[in-house]
Chains A and B, each alone.
Chain A
Amino acid sequence: MNVTQTAQTLLSNQVSLRKVDKVFSPPGKPADAVHALGPIDLELHHGEFFAVVGPSGCGKSTLLELIAGLSTATSGEVAFEGKPIEGRIPDGVGVVFQEDASFPWLTVSDNIAFGLRRMKLPPGEKARRIEKALAMMGLVPFANSYPAQLSGGMRQRVCIARTLVTEPRLILLDEPFGALDQQTRLLMGDEVLNLWRKTGATVFLITHALDEAAMLADRIGVMSARPGRLIDIVETGWSRDRDSRIVQEEQFGAITARLWRSLRQESMKAIGKIEAAT
């Protein structure tokens, strides 16, 4: 690899994890330490849609929190756009959680405006961005409603819109549709693809649903049972303008099948059917 190539990989890698481990040790009881994650090496390219699937409890969410700066790696390095994160929340990153994180005391548009509060924007620009986010997520008629008046799916849109207004370069999605029904999930998937195309941001999605990962992502990382490591990376080869109709394609079935092949053993470990040693 020559110098230009190295520079290019650095440029095109938005997030890089090197030998990252996460160990949870309860204070004062080192014997009860849990090796949750790692070692993990991973590069996320600029503008790609990367999904992570894995058995429950494998540390998927921990991985996301490390990239978000919500927690610090026990060892190894996590870098965003070339700068180490080390537990500080980097600029240009947005997160949507599985739980409803809309603020019940603010209206929908105030919730969205909340995302902008630390950015120093002229009032006109603020209003324009809020309008745009409302329109993008189909929330215009509900701008002055309170979250409690909306369905779970609509509240999740509010949270996505609140992230979008900041125009993040990296969007982290932590099972954002986990609490929704299957049909709503497929439609929300289409909307996420749409956003991803329009914003040009990198998307990192955590999910337990294999079909969701297969439909949405360019690349899919498969994680092992705890301690979570990446045991496979699947390239889907979808075109950029895909939508949920690809579920009928042969390739979709093949991808889902490959994911399951890699995961079956791990999932059985996770539910305790076979010992981790075998």
Chain B
Amino acid sequence: MKSPVLWRIVILAGLVILLEVLCVAGVIDKLTMQPPHRILTDLFAMLATGALNKAIAKTLGNALIAFIIAMVVGVTSAIVIHRLRRVRDTLEPLFATYYAIPVFAFYPMLIVLLGLGDAPQIFIGAMLGVVAVIVNTLNGLDRVPGVLLKTARINQMSPVDTALRVTLPCASPYILTGAKLAVAYSLIGIIGAEFIMSSGGMGYEISFAYNNFDNATMYPLILLILLVSISINMMIARWEKVLMARRGLR
């Protein structure tokens, strides 16, 4: 048996079974964690009753908006920054530092500026994701061969047309890498903000459940977030793989 995929499935299944056994045998007590099968049945029950559907829709919807903003703003600014060498050099230290800065510290200020609604949360999510998109898009733009840009000029393409039809398609595998990170960061931003200060959403429900020892709500919600982020990630990764294979890379 030499297939890595099969091994991966076996290992994952083994881990889940181990967790199940440990929970059922009482090595991990009920207050700490529910056995995996309970989490799954709780999740189905939760989705079926629809009690938390509003919270789920709010969080995922906001994360989606934050993701779209991060992508649009990120890719556009990367194209602009790429043309301005000085600006880019100046921003390099910021990019290197950015993900060590506790962005959530700006949340109170954003609430004052944008009100108590969804806007400050979306802002945090987009703010976290946008730099990953910029950095990866720049990386992709650096790798566009000069001869393709010359070809665009020979075809008398406008700068916008060149970006849309030559530069961005060429850089697309790298932009997708940024997109994968932006998915995670927009979720982190939204959920983190909901943990800190919010009156709804999955993050709020998770911390509410945690404070009330309500594992039957907390674990299914956490599982749902993990499932959503991993499946979106795998979808983008598959797309990325198709693009790379088409170009004879990897």
Q: Is residue A100 within 8 Å, beta carbon to beta carbon, of the partner chain? A: yes
Q: Is residue A260 within 8 Å, beta carbon to beta carbon, of the partner chain? A: no
Contact indicator B147/A70 (Cβ below 8 Å): no
Given B146, B155, B156, B246, which contacts A104 in the complex, CB threshold below 8 Å? B246
Contact indicator B243/A95 (Cβ below 8 Å): no
Q: Is residue A261 within 8 Å, beta carbon to beta carbon, of the partner chain? A: no
Contact indicator B153/A89 (Cβ below 8 Å): yes
Known: A103-B170, A148-B246, A148-B247. A89 touches B156 (CB 8 A): yes
| Chain A 85-106 near chain B by CB (<8 Å), digits 1 or 0 | 0000101011101011101111
Given B147, B155, B170, B249, which contacts A100 in the complex, CB threshold below 8 Å? B147
B119-148 residues with Cβ-Cβ distance < 8 A to A are: 145-148
Question: CA of A94 to CA of B166 in the docked complex: distance in angstroms?
Answer: 18
Q: Is residue B12 within 8 Å, beta carbon to beta carbon, of the partner chain? A: no
Q: Is residue A117 within 8 Å, beta carbon to beta carbon, of the partner chain? A: yes
Hey, which chain B residues are within 8 Å of A99, CB to CB?
A: 145-147
Question: CA of A163 to CA of B246 in the docked complex: distance in angstroms?
Answer: 23
Hey, which chain A residues are within 8 Å of B249, CB to CB?
A: 148
Contact indicator B154/A89 (Cβ below 8 Å): yes
Q: Is residue A149 within 8 Å, beta carbon to beta carbon, of the partner chain? A: yes
Distance from B142 Cβ to chain A, minimum over Cβ atoms (Å): 16
Q: Is residue B83 within 8 Å, beta carbon to beta carbon, of the partner chain? A: no
Given B154, B156, B169, B248, which contacts A103 in the complex, CB threshold below 8 Å? B169
Contact indicator B154/A68 (Cβ below 8 Å): yes
Q: Is residue A178 within 8 Å, beta carbon to beta carbon, of the partner chain? A: no
Contact indicator B246/A101 (Cβ below 8 Å): no
Contact indicator B166/A103 (Cβ below 8 Å): yes
Number of interface residues of B (CB under 8 A): 21
Q: Is residue A115 within 8 Å, beta carbon to beta carbon, of the partner chain? A: yes
Contact indicator A101/B150 (Cβ below 8 Å): yes
Distance from B131 Cβ to chain A, minimum over Cβ atoms (Å): 26
Contact indicator B151/A149 (Cβ below 8 Å): no
Distance from A147 Cβ to chain B, minimum over Cβ atoms (Å): 8
Distance from A127 Cβ to chain B, minimum over Cβ atoms (Å): 19
Distance from B141 Cβ to chain A, minimum over Cβ atoms (Å): 15
Hey, which chain A residues are within 8 Å of B247, CB to CB?
A: 104-105, 146, 148
Hey, which chain A residues are within 8 Å of B166, CB to CB?
A: 103
Question: CA of A101 to CA of B151 in the docked complex: distance in angstroms?
Answer: 7
Distance from B194 Cβ to chain A, minimum over Cβ atoms (Å): 39
Hey, which chain A residues are within 8 Å of B243, CB to CB?
A: 105
Hey, which chain A residues are within 8 Å of B196, CB to CB?
A: none
Contact indicator B170/A94 (Cβ below 8 Å): no
Q: Is residue A245 within 8 Å, beta carbon to beta carbon, of the partner chain? A: no
Question: CA of A197 to CA of B113 in the docked complex: distance in angstroms?
Answer: 71
Hey, which chain A residues are within 8 Å of B154, CB to CB?
A: 68, 70, 89, 93-95
Given B147, B156, B170, B172, which contacts A118 in the complex, CB threshold below 8 Å? B156
Distance from A238 Cβ to chain B, minimum over Cβ atoms (Å): 29
Hey, which chain A residues are within 8 Å of B151, CB to CB?
A: 95, 97, 101
Hey, which chain B residues are within 8 Å of A114, CB to CB?
A: 155, 165
| Chain B 150-188 near chain A by CB (<8 Å), digits 1 or 0 | 110111110000000110011010000000000000000
Given A70, A103, A117, A149, which contacts B153 in the complex, CB threshold below 8 Å? A70
Contact indicator B170/A105 (Cβ below 8 Å): yes
Distance from B219 Cβ to chain A, minimum over Cβ atoms (Å): 43
A-B contact pairs, 20 of them (CB 8 A): A70-B150, A70-B153, A89-B153, A91-B156, A99-B145, A99-B146, A99-B147, A101-B150, A103-B166, A103-B170, A104-B170, A106-B169, A114-B155, A114-B165, A117-B155, A117-B165, A148-B246, A148-B248, A148-B249, A149-B248
19 further contact pairs, Cβ within 8 A, besides A105-B243, A146-B246: A70-B154, A89-B153, A91-B156, A93-B154, A95-B151, A99-B147, A101-B145, A101-B150, A103-B169, A104-B170, A104-B246, A104-B247, A105-B172, A106-B169, A114-B165, A115-B155, A117-B165, A118-B157, A148-B247
